[in-house]
């Protein structure tokens, strides 16, 4: 992880701010044109992923509003919260006097987008579900904040760091461990093919035990989990100091990995949020599953 972080920081540090001239314009993920006469100075970010990107490109100090879940980097916690980010209160957002609002591309946010736009407040709607979305969102936010060079550096660091993890894993001997990703306990819910977490698993050299599911997330049965016999169960926990006890869940000891204690509890903020820290999540997971590459008995 140290090597990846060092590469990441070195590439970001190489950037210099690009002076903004004229109108700054992007097309957001709803096909809307968002244009600013000058770089945004008072930004309300209504998704943890966009908040992480804004801090990563140097625009974090200009945040005047965030969601309850925007907890990274630590400096984000000092920014006043305006709610949970979904179906936000227009009044609470307007009270922060923003010159740019960044929203997650969800139908639940459509009314807020219309309300803010009607008040003349520029709104950028960004879809942040996959690794590629992080790259696209960083470049758009770089333009709107006048930090296009920093965004370019972030993207270069992101791609280089993720590529370094993949290359190292590819060069290592051993098989690719099969992991079940625990998204929800009852009924059991996991991630499918092409989801962000599947992308993290793939980069780390693991295989999603339900990678054949077409949906990004779906409910599955305990019987199906047990029959696929994963090498380990990956649990995303908001509080890793107090992780859930999977063996205490009714029926879960039918899953051999649970019965034998192969449960990997990881930071939900690091793993579950499409953002600049994706290479760090992949590196962390690669380290955790390294012993499983040699596990026999399958």
- pTM more than 0.85: yes
Mean pLDDT of the region 35-41: 97
Task: Tell me what pLDDT residue 132 has.
Answer: 96
DSSP states of 166-230 as a string?
A: HHHHHHS-S---EEEEESBTTTTEEE-TT-HHHHHHHHHT-EETTTT-SSSEEE--HHHHHHH--
Task: Tell me what pLDDT residue 15 has.
Answer: 39
What are 189's strand-pairing partners?
184, 219
Looking at every residue in the chain, the average pLDDT score rounds to 91
Work out the pLDDT band at 296, boundaries 50, 70, 90.
Answer: low
Mean pLDDT of the region 153-162: 97
Each residue of 53-71: pLDDT tens digit?
Answer: 999 999 999 999 999 999 9
Task: Tell me what pLDDT residue 297 has.
Answer: 57
Each residue of 80-128: pLDDT tens digit?
Answer: 999 998 899 999 999 999 999 999 999 999 999 999 999 999 999 999 9
Task: Tell me what pLDDT residue 8 has.
Answer: 44
Task: Tell me what pLDDT residue 129 has.
Answer: 96
Residue 53 and residue 46 in contact, taking contact as beta carbons nearer than 8 Å: no
By percentage, how much of the chain surpasses pLDDT 70? 92
Task: Tell me what pLDDT residue 240 has.
Answer: 81
């Amino acid at each position: 992880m140290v090597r990846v972080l060092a590469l990441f920081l070195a590439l970001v540090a190489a950037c210099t701010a690009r002076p903004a001239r004229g109108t700054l314009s992007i097309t957001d993920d709803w096909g809307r044109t968002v244009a600013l006469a000058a770089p945004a100075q008072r930004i309300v970010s209504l998704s943890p992923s966009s908040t992480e990107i804004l801090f990563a490109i140097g625009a974090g100090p200009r945040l005047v509003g965030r969601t309850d879940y925007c907890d990274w980097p630590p400096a984000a916690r000092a920014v006043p919260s305006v709610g949970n980010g979904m179906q936000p209160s227009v009044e609470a957002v307007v009270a922060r006097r923003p010159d740019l609002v960044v929203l997650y591309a969800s139908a639940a946010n459509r009314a807020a987008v219309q309300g803010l736009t009607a008040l003349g407040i520029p709104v950028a709607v960004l879809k942040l579900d996959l690794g590629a979305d992080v790259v696209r969102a960083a470049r758009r936010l770089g333009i709107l904040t006048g930090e296009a060079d920093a965004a370019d550096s972030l993207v270069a660091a992101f791609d280089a760091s993720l590529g370094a993890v993949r290359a190292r894993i590819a060069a290592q001997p051993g098989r690719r461990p099969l992991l079940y990703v625990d998204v929800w306990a009852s009924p059991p819910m996991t991630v499918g093919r092409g989801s962000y977490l599947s992308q993290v698993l793939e980069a780390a050299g693991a295989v999603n035990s339900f990678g054949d599911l077409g949906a990004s997330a779906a409910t599955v049965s305990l019987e199906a989990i047990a029959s696929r016999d994963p090498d380990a169960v990956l649990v995303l926990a908001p509080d890793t100091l107090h992780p859930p006890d999977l063996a205490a869940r009714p029926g879960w000891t039918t899953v051999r990995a649970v019965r034998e204690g192969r449960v990997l509890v990881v930071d939900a903020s690091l793993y579950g949020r499409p953002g600049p820290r994706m290479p760090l999540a992949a590196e962390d997971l690669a380290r955790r599953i390294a012993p499983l590459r040699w596990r026999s008995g399958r």
